[in-house]
A and B are shown apart, each in its own frame.
Chain A
Amino acid sequence: MTTPLARPKRKNPLARTRLPSAPPSPRSRTAQGLTAAAAEGRFTLQVCAECQTVVYPPRDACPSCLSPRLPFKDVDPCGMLVSETTVRVTSETYFRERVPWRVGMVKLDVGPMVVTHLHGDTCEGARVRLVLKLDRRGAPVMLALPEQDTPDMADDPELRELTCDPKFRRVLITDGRNAVGQAMARACAEAGATIVFVGIADQWRPFPGDAAIKAIAQVEIVPLDLTDTDSVNELAAQNGARIDIIINTAEHVRAGGVTEGTSLTSARETMELRYLGLMRLAQAFGPIMRMRGADGVIAAAAIVNLLSVYALTNWPVYGVVSAVEAACLSASQSLRAELRPGGIKVVNVFSGPLETEWYQTLPPPKVAPAALAKAVIEALRHGLEEVYVGDVAQDIRARLEVNPKALERELGE
């Protein structure tokens, strides 16, 4: 049985904050195939294209037929925990600070034996299911979960180390004026966040949903304008050390392409809020979060970017917005690399058009703000790094995989 997490006590200001240390992260290039799957919460192993042998650890030739064709494919993650041990002495600082640490060997039904981290509710000789997760350094690792869910299982220390669960964490929603920000605030409160800071620019200006958002017990309204460097820095100075998760909900959506339909002024505004706004957040909060990446059970954990799926390939109907989103996506990759030493995840959540006023003229399917919020909470709970929400996002992703050039042409028709 997992011991439920107790609400963390107020931090002793005199006690030293535990600094982040890195779990061993070097991997072979081939093993990065697992990184891709772990980032999306899938369980893949290499499956030989010629003889169907399931292969692990990652190889460059099939051990049954020597075929070099070993694509990663989704496979059944179930098996049996054959042998377990509790590591008490280790030469790596990361684990020294976390022992005792259980690991074991799982015989997968699909064949391979897998060395894996163990959830506390697994036991030797019993059935388990493996999940692939990104560790605090962004490297893929296996974790064995009990076959059936158990009470409070998310609170298991080995699991929680691999996730960004909002429970008891403090979240900053950067813009609470829009429907997405408000849905996100509600979802975070429901997911057990202790404080949900909601940024509102120009607080004297009323906005729809104002009263409802303020009525949520965990919500604390804070002044925040992502286009204003001083505003971002001030919030970071006051509350930076109390923010474990940032969800950037700022949006600036205007239809129009590069030659017409968008003024340079509008393009600059989009860039100012979305791209430079992200940079302001990164510069003000990034260093503090990186220092707090190992600060107990409510260590700083994640920055969530809500991105248009057209960041991946431009949709000329929203040509300028797509371009700015692409800039944000590129910046997020840099941010990810910069925050990795602190164990902070950068979560990119891609969605198609939302069910909001700025996409009013578009036909369905569209993503409801509540659905987007739910997807973000799930991503945090599972420790994901890439999420595609809704039918449009899934469709774009699938078509990109098959033929990116065809997609570019078709979006331009």
Chain B
Amino acid sequence: MMEKSSPRAASTRQGYDGVVVCVPVSIPYRRYSTNSAHWWIGRALRELIAGAGLRLKDIDGLSVSSFTVGPDTAIGLTQHFGVSPRWLDHVPFGGASGVMALRRAARAVQAGDADFVACVAGDTNHVDTFRKTLSNFSRFAQDAVYPYGAGGANASFALIAKNYMNSYGARREDFGKLCVAQRANALVYPHALMKKPLTLDEYMTARPIADPIHLYDCVMPCAGAEAFLVCREDAARSLNLAGVRVLATIERHNAFQGDDMQIRGGWARDVDDLWAMASVAPADVDFVETYDDYPVISMMQFEDLGFCRKGEGPDFVRAHRFTNDGDFPHNTSGGQLSVGQAGAAGGYLGLVEALRQLTGKALGTQVADARLGLVSGFGMINYDRGLASAAAVLARPQ
């Protein structure tokens, strides 16, 4: 599908000078929870305010991401939590929620629309929540995907993974290498739900879910919440908070409509902007947090975010070590594959972990001398592909 050139040249992207991200908050995940999403989001908000040394009334911006907070949206939560923000956002876009919330909040702070934006993602997981979320995830899914075996995301990503393997020669072992490395990172991250080591052999012989997806390619749905605070750099300093700087961000939805099967995400369209805006190169980053709903998507992100060329993902994986002490620290807290996927909070996991790594406060293994990190998000398999993609290059406090 040819895309017509736009009538005007693309505008220059403005930097995020003077804005920082701070106070990483993670509410420890649970496989199942009898509490509501409101409970999880409320706990994260409370911990965020306490961690920032603020009072509830200081929060004048709120961004919420959740799948299970219905029938409420962010507006209902203002009354639920007793906040009176002058800037409000609801970002229910799954795996891209973290970076998307960050981008919006940063601009609001930069423009003076808000001083302290609390960005919170949280979801509960009742016994039947996951099936219900799957069965009415989107109109296209309901009309044209779920009736076909009701395999949910596993089946959809199985089709994408199979096609990727056929196209570029990726093998299950390559995906397994990523999963095994993430498990090693997770073993020292206190909130990870997966506590046992994983060997490549166990990965390879795990039970099949939807070929070629096997058990350890899948995230475990759970309940949990994550949060961070966006504010001005001087405000953070006056509160004595370590503020991570935002060098560059990108966001793109429903890219490459002409691709029959998803072999790339929207990052590929904006990646040059990302690195140009950050004034650094892929080789400069000290760690990478990809959105790992399935390892094949992590592999696509290595390609689409410029670490290797399209189709070289498998070779790239074979050539690097992905543990926190390796040459390419990746998903340093264990990622969703080992920590668990707390709904929309899964889209915050990498970002919150990056804040910890860049401020020297890793809960697990600290990546040595981490100065620059890349965080990427991906989400919303509306029909046959993930629609949302986003990424941010973050730098440690000056």
Contacts and interface: CB of A to CB of B under 8 A. Distances in A.
Contact of B261 (A83, A90, A95): A83
A141 B148 CA distance: 8
Contacts of B159: 83-85, 103-105, 115
B162 A89 contact: no
B210 A83 contact: no
Interface in A70-89: 82-89
B284 interface: no
Nearest to B260: A107
A28 interface: yes
Contacts of A89: 151, 154, 209-210
Interface range on chain A: under 10, 10 to 19, 20 to 34, or 35 or more?
A: 35 or more
Interface string A102-144: 0111010000011111000000100000000001000101100
B144 A115 contact: yes
Contacts, number: 118
B261 A115 contact: no
B130 A113 contact: no
A91 B150 contact: yes
A139 B211 CA distance: 26
Contact of A139 (B140, B147, B156, B207): B147
Contact of B384 (A84, A95, A105, A117): A105
A57 interface: yes
A90 B150 contact: yes
Contacts of B130: 91
Contacts of B148: 103, 115-117, 141-142
A90 B134 CA distance: 11
B155 A103 contact: yes
B143 A24 contact: no
Contacts of B151: 85, 87, 89-90, 95, 103
Contacts of A105: 159, 163, 261, 384
A341 interface: no
Contact of A141 (B139, B147, B213, B257): B147
B5 to A, nearest CB: 17
Given A28-B142, A57-B144, A83-B261, A90 B149 contact: yes
Contacts of A57: 139-140, 143-144, 383
Given A95-B149, A113-B260, A88 B134 contact: no
Given A24-B147, A87-B155, A91-B131, A113 B384 contact: yes
A10 to B, nearest CB: 32
A19 to B, nearest CB: 18
A239 to B, nearest CB: 34
A82 B147 contact: no
B208 interface: yes
Interface residues of B, number: 39
A63 B1 CA distance: 12
Contacts of A117: 148-149
B175 interface: no
A369 interface: no
A85 B158 contact: yes
A232 interface: no
Contacts of A63: 257
Contact of B166 (A83, A86, A115): A83
B155 A27 contact: no
B35 interface: no
Contacts of B199: none
A113 B261 contact: yes
B152 interface: yes
A366 B329 CA distance: 78
A28 B143 contact: yes
A99 B130 CA distance: 20
A87 B139 CA distance: 21
A22 B167 CA distance: 36
Interface string B221-247: 000000000000000000000000000
A25 interface: yes
A220 interface: no
A25 B147 contact: yes
A304 interface: no
17 contacts: A24-B135, A24-B147, A24-B150, A82-B163, A82-B260, A83-B159, A86-B208, A89-B209, A90-B149, A95-B149, A103-B155, A104-B159, A105-B163, A105-B384, A115-B148, A139-B147, A141-B147
Given A86-B211, A91-B130, 16 more contacts: A24-B142, A58-B144, A84-B159, A85-B159, A85-B213, A87-B151, A88-B211, A90-B151, A91-B134, A91-B150, A99-B149, A103-B155, A103-B159, A115-B148, A124-B166, A139-B147
